[in-house]
Amino acid sequence: MLQLTDSGSIIMYVNQLPSSKPRIFYGYVIVCVVFVILAVMWGTLYAFGVYFNALLADFGWTKAMTSGAFSLSVVFLALFAVIAGRLSDRFGPRVVLTVGGLLLGTGCLLMSRIETAWQLYLYYGVIIGVGMSTSFVPPASTVARWFVKRRGMMTGIAVSGLSVGTLVMPPFANWLISVYGWRTAYIVTGVTVLIAVVSAAQFLRRDPDEIGQLPYGVNELEDRKTSPTDFSLSEVVHTRQFWMLDVAVLFFGVSLGAVLVHIVPHSIGLGVSPANAALVLALVGGGGIIGRVVMGAVCDRIGNKPALVICFCALSTSLFSLLVAEELWGLFLFAIIFGFGYGGISALVSPMLAELFGLRSLGAILGLTASIGGDGGSAIGSVVAGYIFDVTGSYYRAYLICAVISAIGLVLILLLKPTSWSKA
C-alpha cells in the first residue's frame, strides 16, 4: 500500500498487502475427483464378465465371439491412450474426460439395445473402448502435475479408485441384472457413468497455475537444479531410460494379464471351489488397493526407483510361489503379495516418468507407456497363458515365464539411471 506523508514523500507498506493464500489446496480436490472417475469407469469396464452369461443365454453366441468384444475394447483402449494423453497435455483433462465419459455412458446405453453381434462389437468394442482410453492417462498425469511433494502418495490414493470400482461395480451390476435384467442394468450403468464421470470431470484442472496456485511442495525443493528437463515425446523415445522402464512395465503387464484372466480357472483346476477361486481374485484386488496407497506413500520417503524395486520383488516372488502353491492358503498368500506388487507398480509409473522426463508431455509419455506396457502386455499375457494351457494342459509353464520375466523387469529397474539435464 502507498501513503503520502505531510512532506510529500511516499511510504510503501508491503506487509499490509492482503494474503491471497487459499484456504484449501485444490490438488486434494483433484485427487478425490480422479478417485471417483477411475472407480466408475474401470468398474464399468470390468463388469463385462457379469453380463457375459446373460448375453450368451439371450443370443446363443459362442464364448469366443462374446469375449472378443472385450478384447477389441482393450485394443482400442491401448491404441487411443497416447492420443488421449496428447489431448490432455494440450486441452486439459476436463475436456478429455468429459468426452470419454460421454462415450462410455453412451456405449452402455447402446448396449441395452443390441440385437446382433456387429452391434456388440461396435458399441462395446469401439465406442466403450475409445471412451475408456481416457480413463487412466489424463487423470493420473494430472495428479502428478499438482504435487511435487507427496506425489507418490497422492497418486496411489487416486488410482486406488480403480481397484475400489472393480470391487464395487460388478456386484452392483450383478444385482441389477438379477432384479431388472441385463438391458435395464446397462441403462442404469450408462446413466450412472454420464452423471458421475461427466460431472466429476468439470472439477479437473490441468495445472495449478490455472487457478493461481503452485504444485504442492514446490517451494520445499532443496535443489531445483536436480529437476529434469521437460522432455517432449519425440525426445523421450530416444532415451534408453524410457525403453528400460517400458520393457519392465511390459513384463509386468504380461504377468498381470495372465493372472487376472486365468487365476480362477487355475485355482479350480487345483481342486479349489469356484467361490474360493473367486475369492483369490478378489484378494488380488484387495492387495492392489493396499499396494497403491502404501507404496505411494513409501516412494515419497525413499524415492520412486527403490519403491519400484520393492514392488517388482513382490511381483516376482509371488509368481515363483504360485508355481508350488497347491493349497488354498498358498493361493491366498500369492494373491495378497501379487496384488500388493501390482498395485504399487501401477501407482508408481506416473511419478517415475515425471521424475525422469518432467511434466510438459507427461500425458503423452504415460499414454505410450500404458499402451506398450500395461495394456499391450496384459493382452499378450492373457492370450499366451491360454494358449500354453491349451497345448500343455497346465498353467505351470505360463506362470514360470511370468515369474522369470518379472525378475528381468526387476533387473531393468535396478539398472535404471536418471536422465541427464542435457538430454544426452
Rounded to an integer, what distance in angstroms lies between the CA atom of residue 349 and that of residue 341?
12
How many structural domains does the chain have?
2
Q: What is the percentage of the chain residues whose pLDDT exceeds 70?
A: 90
Q: Is residue 309 part of a domain?
A: yes
The predicted structure's pLDDT at residue 192:
95
Please give the model's pTM, rounded to 2 decimal places: 0.73
Looking at 211, 236, 252, which one is the last position of a domain? 211
Q: Is residue 197 part of a domain?
A: yes
State the DSSP H helix or E strand holding residue 12, giving kind and residue range, or none if neither: strand 10-12
Q: Are residues 199 and 252 in the same domain?
A: no
Q: Are residues 326 and 389 in the same domain?
A: yes
Give the CATH number, domain containing residue 301: 1.20.1250.20
Q: Are residues 266 and 167 in the same domain?
A: no
Q: Are residues 178 and 286 in the same domain?
A: no
Rounded to an integer, what distance in angstroms lies between the CA atom of residue 105 and that of residue 100?
8
Q: Are residues 254 and 116 in the same domain?
A: no
Q: Are residues 110 and 237 in the same domain?
A: no
**Which pLDDT band holds residue 421 (cuts at 50, 70, 90)?**
very low
Q: Are residues 254 and 153 in the same domain?
A: no
Q: Are residues 278 and 164 in the same domain?
A: no
Q: Is residue 4 part of a domain?
A: no
Q: Are residues 201 and 245 in the same domain?
A: no
SS3 for 241-267 is HHHHHHHHHHHHHHHHHHHHHHHHHHH
Q: Is residue 7 part of a domain?
A: no
Q: Is residue 114 part of a domain?
A: yes
Q: Are residues 234 and 144 in the same domain?
A: no
Rounded to an integer, what distance in angstroms lies between the CA atom of residue 189 and that of residue 413?
40
From the list 219, 227, 243, 204, the residue with the least C-alpha distance to 369 is 243
**Position 106 pLDDT exceeds 80:** yes
Looking at 211, 242, 273, which one is the last position of a domain? 211
From the list 270, 105, 123, the residue with the least C-alpha distance to 198 is 105
Q: Is residue 128 part of a domain?
A: yes
Determine the average pLDDT of the residues in 76-84.
Answer: 86
Provide the residue range defining the domain that includes 181.
Answer: 27-211
Q: Are residues 293 and 371 in the same domain?
A: yes
State the DSSP H helix or E strand holding residue 3, giving kind and residue range, or none if neither: strand 2-4
Q: Are residues 276 and 144 in the same domain?
A: no
**pLDDT, tens digit (0-9, with 9 covering 90-100), for 338-382:** 999 988 898 888 888 888 888 777 777 887 887 777 677 777 787
